[in-house]
Structure 1
Amino acid sequence: MCNPAMKKKIFIFLLCSIILSGCALQRDVMTLDDRLAQAEQRYTEADQKNKKLEATLEEYRNAREQNDKELRSKTAGQNATIEELQEEIRILKGKLEETDYLLKQKINAFAELSEKREIKLESIDKTTSLNKDRIERLEQYLNFESTAQIQKGQPVSNIPSGKQAKHKLSENELYTSAKKAYDKGDLNAAREGFQKLLKEFPKSENADNAQFWIGEIYYREKWYEKAILEYQTVIEKYPKGNKVTASLLKQGFAFFNLGDKSNARLILSELIKKYPKSNEAKIAERKLKGIGP
């Protein structure tokens, strides 16, 4: 059996152990509480950051949706505008084709009218020539001096029976002579000269100019239908010549003088579009302002 002193020591030892273990447990509990508090704080901070991220993400989604809506709206508007423009282009193309067809019809009508007039003129020339021959034969039968000889101041015996030989003019001489006649106002002589140049020297470097001046002669005579056809010949036959812009301008003027403002406006607009830097284009712009819509 243990003696009382030994029991007392054992009791004191156990008591001290219990006290010491209690202190250790209390420190552990406090440490755990501190760690738990730190964990809760980190969790709270993380949760706040997460909420901020979610809010930012939500704002981004809303902004993206808004941008998508605006983009879809703009795209729809642009598509509608493109469709409207395409429709306007189709309408304008149709009107242009219709106007081009009507213009060709009018030019063809002018050509037919001009051809009929030329046939009439040829018929008149033939009739005049036949009458002249009859008069000469009558004068010869009656032994009268012919009118041609009176004008020249020559007797009948001095006129040769064949055609008198004439010096053949070169292409430059023909052009210069015809141009001088035009400048003097002798339109018939100028027309004959230019037409002779085109007939004898069709590849002359002055051919396009000669053709243009023929159109100018008809324009000055106010035979605008014929002038339009002659200008059209310049445009089609000599597209690289120096009289294309002038021919387009005078075609527009001729149509205007005929009262056809629609075709006048069309041709002058074509001139401005194809040759915007030419002097004729500037004149056409001023003329269009005068014609009006």
Structure 2
Amino acid sequence: MRKDKLFITLFLVAILSAGCASNKELLRMQDDIDQIRAEVVELEQKDAAVDRELQRLEQEITGQIEAIKRSQADTLIKIDTLTTEVQILSEKLDDTNFRISSLSQQVTGLQLSRPPLTQSTQPKAGPPPETTEAPRTSEETPSSPQSLYNTAYADYLRGDYDLAINGFQEFLRLFSDSELADNAQYWIGECYYSQGKFRQAAKEFDKVIINFPQADKLPAAHLKKALSYFELNQIGQAVIQLQQLIKEFPTSNEARIAREKLESLGLSPPPQGGKP
């Protein structure tokens, strides 16, 4: 009997001990789960912080890339502008040389047409007669198309653009069939462009394109018309003009400038074709 009681007692103690052990294990497992959850939350927070940092870096890099692109575009535009100015100066030099050559030919012609001065025709010694030279007025009729053109072009070189415009317009009125008529029309556009009157300049350059389809300055007229549109912030019209220039005069220096301008705007130049 005593043995049975002892056995029962030991059995109950064993059961109670097992229950205590199970509770401790459950508590330990719960602690482990809580710790894992805490670690997961911490990792998620770190991951979110890394994502935010990556987004910030991406935005910063994108901004730097855009700034570099804008800087490159501005540089290309400045280069194009300088190239155009050099071209204009070169054209001015060519016209000046042409003017000098023409004047030299006129002087040579006058020298050849002057009769030789012989002894019998030499005047007797004495004081020269007093002469007065009347000043040139705008109403004087020019002796030749070249002299009127040279006078207007000299006014342009001096920066007297209004006077130059009047001179070139008078030249076109009197000598519309002259081989210099296309040049006169072009320089009217340049005068307005130099004055910052870009809308009127575009109209004058357009007259070169329409009225003188075989003009030497046709590529330059296309380019300056496009640049006038850019100054007026009419980008679409300017792009169309540049594309037309490239198609019609693909090998010209103006077409090269037009391609660089389009590329600086992120646009692809049209395929080559048309006039050489």
Which of the five TM-score ranges fits, normalised by the shorter chain?
A: 0.3 to 0.5
TM-score, normalised via structure 1 length: 0.43
TM-score, normalised via structure 2 length: 0.45
Q: Per chain length, whose mean CA-contact separation is higher, i.e. which structure has more relative contact order (CA < 8 Å, sep 6+)?
A: 2
Q: Radius of gyration: which is bigger?
A: 1
Structure with more helix by fraction: 1
